Amino acid sequence: MPAKGMPMVLLLALVPFTLFAACDGGEEDVDAEPADPSIPTPAYDWSDEPWNVVVSLPIFADFVREMGGDQVAVASLIPPGADPHTFVPDDEAATLVQEADLVLVNGLGLDQPTIDFVQANRPDGRLFMVDFVRNVPSPSTQQPIGGFPIFAKEVGDNPHLYLDPELVSIYAETVSHSMVIIDEINEPYYDALFAAYVERIKALHQHIESDMAAIPAENRSLVTEHDSMIHWANRYGLTIAGTLAEDGEDAIRSALESGQPNAVFTEVGMGDGALESIASDYNARVCALSTDSIEEEDRPYIEMMESNSAEILSCLGGEAR
């Protein structure tokens, strides 16, 4: 069996990845467990002394739970409702880092204060951090035919890659392969968990695609707190009419003056009420999304994304199919 607490190699090397195409089949219940997930029993059961995995964002903790099952214990360095762009973990979180077998972060500036904290508090001689964006092929770049892909980290893409279900499968695979690196004996177990989760992500993509297709053509634009929704918009044929943090108040007012859309989207952990105040001047509806953070530590990613999809559909005047 593997030795617990073994020194880790630097897990910044590229993890094999899988891109999937949208399925042509009918819609599925994305909340339902696969009918036959075929999850084998772990060859060695760590459930009494699980591997310690630490993540930056609470959103990522769900990937660890899904990819590791009861073989892992996961903790988030950033609490629910906090802005990862600015939040700095406290001294108590240093213990989590020092006892971790694996640390997973996003990168591309989304959670940089936490990455700096991990680097400052890691145990001597143990390099064990994985940043997801090194494994995600850039969605904004023409990829070469054959050969090595161009990754989001190289290009400097917008960091919110996990809000595109077709890219989040690579987040999940990165977790799965990282678990295999530290616990190779249980590779079939982790592979099976990953395969089952990918099927649920495919169903999630279909669900969102159907919702977004129901939004009227004249109303397919988003006004948000900051530039979090670009990958979602690109995937599902929406546009970004304005972001308060990047474009400023005048740009938001200009977008709302047309009345299309007649809604703005606040984001959990972001903003100081300014977007709501602007919206009130135009009688615009105020809606809410989870993008950088979530309200509850253990909220599943798929549930979060379904909720975002329903909110966008409702607020932009569409009807669920």
Out of 210, 238, 269, a domain closes at: 210
End-to-end CA distance of the chain: 50
Q: How far apart are CA 168 and CA 175, in angstroms?
A: 11
Residue 45 lies in a domain: no
Are 169 and 200 part of one and the same domain?
A: yes
Rounded to two decimals, the pTM is: 0.87
pLDDT value of position 156: 96
Let me know if residue 46 belongs to a domain.
no
Q: Choose the final residue of a domain: 193, 210, 227.
A: 210
Q: Please answer whether residues 2 and 183 qualify as being in contact, where contact means their C-beta atoms are separated by less than 8 angstroms.
A: yes
Note whether 179 and 261 are same-domain residues: no
> Model confidence over 166-178: pLDDT tens digits?
999 999 999 999 9
Tell how far CA 97 is from the center of its chain. 21
The answer to whether residue 19 sits within a structural domain is: no
Give tens-digit pLDDT for 205-228.
999 999 999 999 999 999 999 999
Residues of the chain with pLDDT under 70: 1-37, 126-127, 318-321
User: Is 151 domain-assigned?
Assistant: yes
Q: What's the domain count of the chain?
A: 2
Residue 42 lies in a domain: no
158 and 222 co-located in one domain: no
On whether residue 18 sits in a domain, the answer given is no
Q: Going by C-beta distance under 8 Å and a sequence separation of 6 or more, which residues neighbour residue 152?
A: 108, 133, 134, 136, 137, 138, 139, 161
Q: Write down the pLDDT at residue 261.
A: 80
Domain extent, residue 108, equals 51-210
191 and 259 inside one domain:
no
88 and 202 in a single domain? The answer is yes
Res 26: pLDDT = 40
CATH classification of the domain holding 225: 3.40.50.1980
Q: Are 277 and 129 part of one and the same domain? A: no
Q: Which two tokens stand for residue 271?
A: 């903003």
Residue among 158, 159, 162, 160 nearest 170 (CA):
162
Note whether residue 23 is domain-resident: no
Decide if 321 is inside a domain.
no
* Same domain flag for 201 and 307: no
Query: In this structure, what token pair is assigned to residue 205?
Result: 């993509």
